[in-house]
């Protein structure tokens, strides 16, 4: 692992967000972040009063990093904005990065004038995207606002159901104060390079993890140049000066293709057009996924000046599960092999990205598993695309040849 790398996952949740593990605490987050190979986490959910009290117990380095033991966090959270303008419904999720406890307190005081924030770690407010960014900039120019999982249908800015077709439509005169976007699991940087409006925006990736398990935490991440201050971290985002990102295969995401989960039907964009967007099973509108939206909004003349390196990886648990013929990622057998690999090779990202074939052979790793790890490193494991809330499924052997 390059000593200059700082792998960060800045979009996670606490146990106070809906559909999240009740066991999320700082002890578990740090334990599994180290197993994963992460060097920095966002706290998540700083708006929730009880979680914020726990955040305030972390040790500050007076530069915007807050430590649990020897592991750093920066203050972060996700906000949901649902509102109507021009008689049109709008909805968007935003990741908010915060420079200090003091600024977080000011943001929370601001939210207290807009509604409640004690019922969920990702609170909902009826504020427009433009007004929200303007109000945050009044509190502090150092607050960073990142449109979350930008392509997912309901709350991604470019999602088919969000009500927006552009950054400008969402943020208006404040669009220049939005410096980056988050890919989400169903897209990768290459797909986002097709969008003209993103030419001068940084493209970052984080997991949106709802638990601390290593097949969730850090499944997507951004590789920064090593630093120990919030100011330098944000500079790297704003100047597009970080090293790159770690992505899952976009097909692994829950909303890559179009489809209907209840009908067990999915299809690629060209088939959706033939069907007129109608599910052939129930005759209702299909949930339009990410690949279709990218096709709809892409521009032939988009040409970003900076194209960051990105690594397309499935989590190690997923690779081991595939090796074992599709056993549950949480089965004892998968965990047994995972734990052996971590004991031998330190952490998951080291295994996924760096450990050589020869080193794995010396570590008594089965040859078939070694080949899968190396195929994963090269982005060669085929994935049956996810759709309408269903994760994609990694495929092995002959199934890969017949997927398309």
Burial class (CB in 10 A: 0-12, 13-18, 19+), 362: exposed
- With a cut of 50, say whether residue 403 has pLDDT above it: no
For residue 400, pLDDT over 70 is answered with no
Q: What is the pLDDT of residue 404?
A: 35
Query: Alpha carbon 327 to chain centroid distance?
Result: 25
Instruction: For residue 234, list its beta bridge partners.
Output: none
What superfamily would CATH give domain 5-251?
Answer: Metal-dependent hydrolases (3.20.20.140)
Domain ranges of the chain: 5-251, 315-380
**Segment 366-384 mean pLDDT:** 97
Taking residues 244-256, what's their average pLDDT? Answer: 97
Residue 3 binned pLDDT confidence (cut-offs 50, 70, 90): confident
Taking only the tens place, the pLDDT of each residue in 339-354 is: 999 999 999 999 999 9
Share of the chain above pLDDT 70, in %: 98
pLDDT at 78: 98
For residues 1 and 10, which has the higher predicted lDDT (pLDDT)? 10
DSSP states along 28-78: HHHHHHHHHT-SEEE---TTSHHHHHHHTTSEE-SSS-EEETTEEEEEEEE
What is the tens place of the pLDDT at every residue in 262-317? 999 999 999 999 999 999 999 999 999 999 999 999 998 998 989 999 999 999 99
Q: What pLDDT, on a 0 to 100 scale, did the predictor assign at position 352?
A: 98
Average pLDDT of span 359-364: 97
* Tens-digit pLDDT profile for residues 180-199: 999 999 999 999 999 999 99
At 397 the pLDDT is 64
Mean pLDDT for the stretch of residues 334-338: 98
Contacts 24+ apart (CB under 8 A), 105-113: 106/139, 106/140, 107/46, 107/47, 107/136, 107/139, 107/143, 108/46, 108/47, 108/49, 108/52, 110/135, 110/139, 111/47
Q: In this predicted model, what pLDDT tens digit does every residue of 32-51 receive, in sequence order?
A: 999 999 999 999 999 999 99
Quote the pLDDT of residue 11: 98
pLDDT tens track for 122-158: 999 999 999 999 999 999 999 999 999 999 999 999 9
CA–CA separation, 218 vs 199, rounded Å? 26
Residue 87: predicted pLDDT: 82
Which pTM was predicted?
A: 0.96
Task: Calculate mean pLDDT across residues 65-69.
Answer: 98
pLDDT at 1: 66
Averaged pLDDT score across all residues of the chain: 96
């Amino acid at each position: 692992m390059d000593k200059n790398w700082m792998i960060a996952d800045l979009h996670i949740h606490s146990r106070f967000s809906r559909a999240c593990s009740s066991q999320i605490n700082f002890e578990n987050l740090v334990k599994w972040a180290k197993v994963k190979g992460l060097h920095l986490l966002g706290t998540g959910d700083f708006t929730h009063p009880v979680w914020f009290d726990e955040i305030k117990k972390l040790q500050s380095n007076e530069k915007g990093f807050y430590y649990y033991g020897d592991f750093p966090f920066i203050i972060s959270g996700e906000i949901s904005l649902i509102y109507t303008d021009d008689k049109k419904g709008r909805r968007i999720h935003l990741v908010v990065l915060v420079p200090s406890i003091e600024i977080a307190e000011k943001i929370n005081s601001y939210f207290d004038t807009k509604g409640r924030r004690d019922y969920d770690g990702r609170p909902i407010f009826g504020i427009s995207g433009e007004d929200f960014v303007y109000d945050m900039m009044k509190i502090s120019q150092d607050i960073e606002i990142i449109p979350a999982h930008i392509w997912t249908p309901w709350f991604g800015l470019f999602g088919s159901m969000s009500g927006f077709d552009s950054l400008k439509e969402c943020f208006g005169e404040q669009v220049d104060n939005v410096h980056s976007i988050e890919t989400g699991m169903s897209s990768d940087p290459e797909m986002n390079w097709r969008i003209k409006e993103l030419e001068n925006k940084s493209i970052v990736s984080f997991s949106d993890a709802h638990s601390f398990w290593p097949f969730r935490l850090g499944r997507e991440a951004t590789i920064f140049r090593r630093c120990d201050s919030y100011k330098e971290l944000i500079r790297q985002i704003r100047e597009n000066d970080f090293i790159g990102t770690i992505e899952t295969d976009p097909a692994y995401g829950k909303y890559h293709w179009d489809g209907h989960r209840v009908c067990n039907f999915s299809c690629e964009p060209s088939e959706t057009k033939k069907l007129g967007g109608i599910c052939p099973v129930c005759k209702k509108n299909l949930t339009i996924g990410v690949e279709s939206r990218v096709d709809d909004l892409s521009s032939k003349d988009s040409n970003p000046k900076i194209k960051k390196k990105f690594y397309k990886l499935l989590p190690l648990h997923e690779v081991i599960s595939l090796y074992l013929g599709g056993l549950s990622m949480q089965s004892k057998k998968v965990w047994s092999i995972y734990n052996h690999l971590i004991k031998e090779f330190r952490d998951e990202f080291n295994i996924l990205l760096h450990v050589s074939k020869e080193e794995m052979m010396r570590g008594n790793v089965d040859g078939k598993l070694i080949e899968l790890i190396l195929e994963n490193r090269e982005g060669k494991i085929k994935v049956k695309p996810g759709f309408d809330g269903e994760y994609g499924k990694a495929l092995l052997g002959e199934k890969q040849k017949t997927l398309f």
